[in-house]
Amino acid sequence: MSERKVLNKYYPPDFDPSKIPKLKLPKDRQYVVRLMAPFNMRCKTCGEYIYKGKKFNARKETVQNETYMGLPIFRFYIKCTRCLAEITFKTDPENTDYAMEHGATRNFQAEKLIEEEEKRIQQEREEEELNNPMKVLENRTKDSKLEMEVLENLQELKELNQRQALVDFEGMIDQYREMEKREREREKEEDEREMKEMLDRALVKRLRESDSDSETEEESSSKQSNKSSSDKPTDILTADKPTEAEGASAGGAKKAKVESWERSVGTVGGKGALGSLIVRKKPVMTVSKPSSVTETAAPISQTDSKPATTDASKPVTTQNGSSSLSLLGAYSDSDSNDSE
């Protein structure tokens, strides 16, 4: 089976290539090639911009009677993408570039124009020097002055570079780090000093408050000691309680302040600890009291609805100065004898 894509052809043994007729093609015949725009251009007909690298199906031909050092020059024909106007350009082997012929203008060729201008000035100068020796001398003096200026500028640049080369960048960095370190230490010392001052102020304030508290405690303790020394627990047995008459005469006055020992211990007539020491019994027989004993009866208060009763536990003073507690003891003995 033969191959599908055959690149070689069969030549019979009697093949004679001289018998093949030669085609006579014109020298200026054109070929259709695919190319990209070699530079930026603008169409003269419609003003459309054609950028470098845009692809075209161009016609290519060889320029007749124009060569550069035996190299042929080719011409290309393209059409504008907007108005289909024909644009032509050709190769420029002298400058290794392309030259615009007609149909468009080339953009961004400032560098090329500068080079052409320099070449033109150089050619004019050479033409002047050929016929005028004084012009040659003037040009030499100008060139020498320009060269001196260039050398001076170069020397300044060298000195500047040497000056910069002497700069110790490592030393500068170390110095900067040392400055930062000193600054941090200074800030740390300031913070510590401020913290110490704040602590001292707080300590002084606390000491003052403690002193004031101790003074108040001392005053209160001294008052309590004086009070305790002046008031004895046994004073209740000898002291007379204010009568109800004095309370009635006072009217709407406030009651006397009850002392702490009265609240804790109580009075003789109350239900406290002292009241339990005396045992009272109902008398069976009425015993006439001696005439020498004078009892003080408390008037009935107007505000109190209950009748006033004499408190047996209240001490009664006699003419002889003896206490009524002895009488109460005698009454209790007589009652016990009677019961027996």
Q: List, as one string, the DSSP characters of 245-314.
A: HHHHHH-SPPPPPPPHHHHHH--SSSSSTTGGG------SS--PPPTT--PPPPPPPSS--SPP---TTS
Greater model confidence, 131 or 278: 131
Question: Residue 83: what pLDDT?
Answer: 94
Question: Residue 3: what pLDDT?
Answer: 66
Q: Is 80 annotated as a binding residue?
A: yes
C-alpha to C-alpha distances, 97 to 73, 90, 91, 113, 225, nearest whole angstrom: 11, 9, 6, 13, 123
pLDDT band for position 313 (cuts 50, 70, 90):
very low
Question: What confidence tens digit (pLDDT) does each residue in 28-86 have?
Answer: 889 999 999 999 999 999 999 999 999 999 999 999 889 999 999 999 999 999 999 99
pLDDT band for position 333 (cuts 50, 70, 90):
low
Residue 221 has pLDDT above 90, yes or no: no
Least confident of 57-71, 175-189, 213-227: 213-227
Give the list of residues 6+ apart from residue 253 with CB closer than 8 angstroms, or none.
247
pLDDT band for position 141 (cuts 50, 70, 90):
very high
What is the percent of the chain where pLDDT is above 90? 35
Q: Is 334 annotated as a binding residue?
A: no
Q: Is 43 annotated as a binding residue?
A: yes
pLDDT band for position 4 (cuts 50, 70, 90):
confident
DSSP state, residue 19: G
Question: Residue 245: what pLDDT?
Answer: 44
Least confident of 115-129, 175-189, 260-274: 260-274
Question: Residue 135: what pLDDT?
Answer: 87
Mark 98-113 as b/e (b = at least 16 C-beta within 10 Å): bebeebbeeeeeeeee
The model's pTM: 0.36
Q: Give φ, ψ of 30 to 5 degrees.
A: -110, 150
Highest mean pLDDT out of 101-105, 134-138, 286-290: 101-105
Q: Is 300 annotated as a binding residue?
A: no
Residue appearing with tokens 């045992």: 279
Mean pLDDT rounded to a whole number for the chain: 76
What is the percent of the chain where pLDDT is above 70? 64
Question: Residue 328: what pLDDT?
Answer: 45
Helix segments in the chain, DSSP class H: 110-131, 133-165, 169-230, 235-238, 244-250, 260-265, 325-339
Question: Residue 129: what pLDDT?
Answer: 86
Please say whether the beta carbons of 308 and 244 come within 8 A: yes
Question: Residue 277: what pLDDT?
Answer: 57
pLDDT band for position 263 (cuts 50, 70, 90):
low
Residue 307 has pLDDT above 50, yes or no: no
Least confident of 18-27, 29-38, 198-207, 264-273: 264-273
Q: Give φ, ψ of 56 to 5 degrees.
A: -140, 155
pLDDT band for position 160 (cuts 50, 70, 90):
confident
User: Half-sphere exposure (CA, 13 Å, Cβ side) for 314?
Assistant: 13
Question: Residue 180: what pLDDT?
Answer: 93
Question: Residue 260: what pLDDT?
Answer: 62
Question: Residue 26: what pLDDT?
Answer: 83
Question: Residue 183: what pLDDT?
Answer: 94
Distance CA 87, CA 303 (A): 138
Tell me how long the chain is: 340
Q: Over the Cα atoms of the chain, what is R_g? A: 70
Residue 257 has pLDDT above 50, yes or no: yes
| Average pLDDT of span 11-24 | 90
